[in-house]
Amino acid sequence: MKDINYIKGDATQPIGEGNKIIVHICNDIGGWGKGFVMAISKRWEKPEVEYREWYKSNDNFELGEVQFVKVEDDLWVGNMIAQHKIHKSKEGNPPIRYDAVKKALEHVCNFAVENKASVHMPRIGCGLAGGKWEEIESLIHTALSENDIQVTVYDF
């Protein structure tokens, strides 16, 4: 089992050797334009283009799914669909869907194992998605750390 590393830095510039996956939360309505996605788009065009094409294709574009976009020889961006819409519900529930985060992280685990990759992220699901880090951290621990996947969380 590996511990989660917490560092100050930019998640779009992951540290370390070998293959890496940058994961982040996307919504299920095809919206891309606020939050961490802006930092991704500033560095690479492809993750946004591929996400928008995936949304239009409606090919398995649903909560809990992940799209892996290769942006460099040893680096992928994982677009994880784990946010329902973009605003709180009438009942006041945030857009984050923890069950979708869990399922998406399981996909990330499998991809990381297949590609011998470490996983890098900001504090996913806690900004615009409105999630609680304690919940997300527990899901990361179960899906990735307990499966010996090295995880680094970046605080900008």
- Per the prediction, the chain carries an average pLDDT of 97
Band of residue 102 on the pLDDT scale cut at 50, 70, 90: very high
CB neighbours (10 Å) of residue 102? 18
Q: Which among 79, 88, 39, 40 is positioned nearest to 61, based on CA atoms?
A: 79
Residue 24's φ and ψ, nearest 5 degrees, are: -155, 165
Helices marked H in 84-132:
98-115
Tens of pLDDT, residue by residue over 39-70, are: 999 999 999 999 999 999 989 999 999 999 99
What domain range is 44 assigned to? 4-155
**Structural domain total, the chain:** 1
Q: What is the mean pLDDT of residues 65-93?
A: 96
Q: What is the CATH number of the domain that holds 94?
A: 3.40.220.10
pLDDT at 1 exceeding the cut of 90: no
pLDDT, residue 138, reads 98
